Amino acid sequence: MDLITKVKKLGLEDDADIQFLLNGGNLTKVKSSSWKKIRFFNLMPDCTTIHHNSNKPFGKKQTFSVHDIDSVRKGRQSEGLQKYTEDQDEDKCFSIFFKGRRKNLDLVVPSEEDTKKWVNGLEKLITNTRKLNRRQTTEHWIFDEMRKADKNNDNMMTLHEVKHFLRQINIQVDDSYAAMLFKKCDTSNSGTLEDEEIKQFYDLLTKREEIDVIFKQYATTDGQMSAQDLLNFLKDEQCEAVTMEDALKLIESYEPDDLAKEDKNMTIDGFLMYLQQDEGSIFNPAHGELFQDMSQPLNHYFISSSHNTYLTGDQLKSTSSTEAYIKALMRSCRCVELDCWDGANGEPVIYHGHTLTSKVLFKDVIKAIKEYAFKTSMYPVILSLENHCSLEQQKLMAQIMTTILGSALLTAPLEDQMPTNFPSPEELKGRFIIKGQRLNKLDSVYGSSPGVEAECISEEDEAADVIESKVEANGQKAKSKKKKINLNKELSDLVIYCKSVHFSGFENAKAKQSFYEMSSFKESKANHLAETAGNAFIHHNMSKLSRIYPAGTRTDSSNYNPVPMWNTGCQIVALNFQTPCKEMDLNQGRFRQNGMSGFILKPDFLRQAGSMFDPVTLTNGPWLKKKVLHIMVISAQQLPKLNKEKSKSIVDPLVKVEVYGVPGDTASKETFHIENNGFNPMWNVKFQFNIQVPELALVRFLIEDFDHASHNDFVGQYSLPLTSLQCGYRHVPLLTKRGDVIASAGLFVHSMLVDAN
């Protein structure tokens, strides 16, 4: 069985670093100061799998896929290597960080030269596998599974191995169908499949009947699409404003047949290739780039924000880690939280106070933030300080931030005179903004107000400790106990545009609060305000920043629904990034557009003075742009097996299409489930959604494994803003619970967004 040498497909057959990985070598695997074991690591011939041995008596060879690697970092960049190796080993160390919850792999290499080869080789493999188009990814995945099914490694497949292979790729078929498929491909009548017979088997397996039907409707030129046919398809079905030049570019880019390309035609293979590229995605590729105006004041944007950023799990006993900050920042989070407490040896630490969560040094967190803040987005990062430290350690916090962050730390207003509004994300590129308490007004920077030592309110402690009082419709809150802290002036002076203040009602804020003074709201309080005083909340956010955070009772680090907060213009809607859930799916969907910058410009009606918009009691206005969203769920491809240990466990998939936005637009509909087919299920089910405020709507596609006896299991999902949805026949990528792409899987739909009558 010729499994198609992957290294050639990746274009790396002559690469010295890849050859080095194929040969492999002994590396020291580090887990603790006492657990450091030598293991042999090497790249397997498929150039997708890394294997290493185990010294356990009955230990199996352990493997992991290049697809599962999130990043490779050279040097002592992990917490483990920093703790358990010496400074002189810096150039002999590297770490492999995985997607999902799998722990990172810390390794020490015999020489600096070999370290470079390992890191360079792995990075080349990662880069190249991410460049594969969806068809290549599917091909790789299927041939991988074929290789695994070939138990005796004889490069041939028996009928028994074919049956096992079909179960592995999530298809349950009866024996007669499997035998028929096998016999059809076994043209040599040898009782095995090999070479071209396996290629024929692959073609039969991956044939997309639904694509054939669409293609034949438009292919009028001897079974092929002419450039004119393709142009007609793009205009009529895909609703794209394109020209003949655009159609010719697609043929040039995706048609694999040279003769067809020469004739300016597209075959079924080229058509499928096009549909599986960004141009054929449900998400508008133009919105994957930075396309919004970034010159407006900071408070005019939704800002991707994290709560308890340091935690890897629950709020009672999980680990605090610099890695949690790195992961959030690499996902373009632009506001991270630092819970700061007095630590031993006079050094401030970060952890969830009065719990069993572990502690991490404040300076280590600041170093990690400095290193990773601007790798995904160059737009500003807000450091939200929850300060519980003594005056002495607060002073050290200020010194640490000033020293490590240097000129990137904003220590004074950008203007030469007292500002009256926020600067823009564009003006703040590459800068760190401190959010926290400040002893005095900002105009003291210009000498017009004296700096006075004072006591300040700790926001989240206040929300946790205060006996909640009745909130009036205008947001007025009755008097309550406030936990006070002393504040060091050096730390206070670093707070410029985000001074934390207690919220005492919208009227009070309008009369007394400066633009840079912002309040934090616990989710229950924010929800109440959104429901009872939505328009007042919106106007508050036209001139101020608001931060929303989860209730303290969410000890499991679960999340609240962020959508009502966005609907009232709240900018910093902080979620627990470490918790995979629907709410984080929606957050990822909201910030998928605008180049993954972490900043999304709010709609006009959430920014313009005089707006009468209220998401709960909708009235006529420019926000009402009534649309009808038509979705036909057609098919899915190569859904992952949920229980890989049980070869007979096959997915019974169903699809849910959900719309989130203003209350009147929120809806969910689902297909029937299909028994025992996660490979190529087909539904052809149509849904219709009536949408009144499209600029606030998000669409979520969810695939679940149906279960008669218990709740359905999550298979994959994809969320995006309705305004970024492309009409026509589109492929929907599928993501894991933690937001990583499932390389081979996808959903195929037809979408149409039209004006309501």
**Which residues are annotated binding-site positions for Ca(2+)?**
308, 337, 339, 386, 650, 652, 676, 705, 707
- Residue 55 structure tokens: 């010294």
352 is catalytic: yes
Catalytic, out of 352, 388, 539, 540:
352
Q: Is 354 a catalytic residue?
A: no
The C-alpha atoms of residue 191 and residue 183 are separated, in whole angstroms, by 8
How many angstroms separate the CA atoms of 245 and 626, rounded?
A: 34
Q: Which amino acid belongs to residue 400?
A: I
User: E strands along 501-652, which residues?
Assistant: 517-522, 546-549, 572-575, 599-601, 627-637
Long-range contacts from 311-315, C-beta under 8 angstroms, 24+ separation: 311/352, 311/357, 311/557, 311/576, 311/578, 312/578, 313/557, 313/578, 314/555, 314/556, 314/557, 315/352, 315/355, 315/357, 315/554, 315/555, 315/556, 315/557
Rounded to the nearest 10°, the torsion over CA 499, 502, 508, 512 is -30
- Separation between Cα atoms, residue 311 and residue 390, nearest integer Å: 23
Name which of 56, 206, 214 is nearest 142 in CA terms. Answer: 206
Q: How far apart are CA 307 and CA 337, in angstroms?
A: 6
For 410, other C-beta atoms within 10 Å of its C-beta total: 21
Q: Which helix (DSSP H) or strand (DSSP E) does residue 176 occupy?
A: helix 175-185
Contact 300, 544 (CB under 8 A): no
Element housing 73 (H / E): strand 69-74
Burial class (CB in 10 A: 0-12, 13-18, 19+), 524: middle
Report the binding-site residues: 29-56, 308, 337, 339, 386, 435, 520, 547, 650, 652, 676, 705, 707
In angstroms, the CA 383 to CA 405 distance is 12
* Residue bearing tokens 């005179």: 417
Matching residue, tokens 């390992």: 118
Q: What are phi and psi of 184, to 5 degrees?
A: -60, -35
Answer for the pair 122, 69: CB distance below 8 angstroms, yes or no: yes
Give every CB contact of residue 581 below 8 A, 6+ residues apart in sequence. 558, 559, 737
C-alpha count within 13 angstroms, C-beta hemisphere, residue 289: 4
- H-run or E-run covering 323: helix 322-330
Q: Which two tokens stand for residue 112?
A: 């600096």
- Kindly tell me the burial class for residue 86, based on how many C-beta atoms sit within 10 Å of its own C-beta (0-12, 13-18, 19 or more): exposed
Q: Which of 67, 140, 300, 307 is catalytic?
A: 307
* CA distance linking residue 51 with residue 39, whole number of Å: 10
Residue 384 DSSP SS3: strand
Cα separation, 362 vs 693, in Å, equals 43
- In terms of residues, how long is the chain? 757
B/e letters for 361-370, b = 16+ CB within 10 Å, e = fewer, are bbbbbbbbbb
* Cα gap 215→226, rounded to integer Å: 11
Catalytic site residues?
Answer: 307, 352
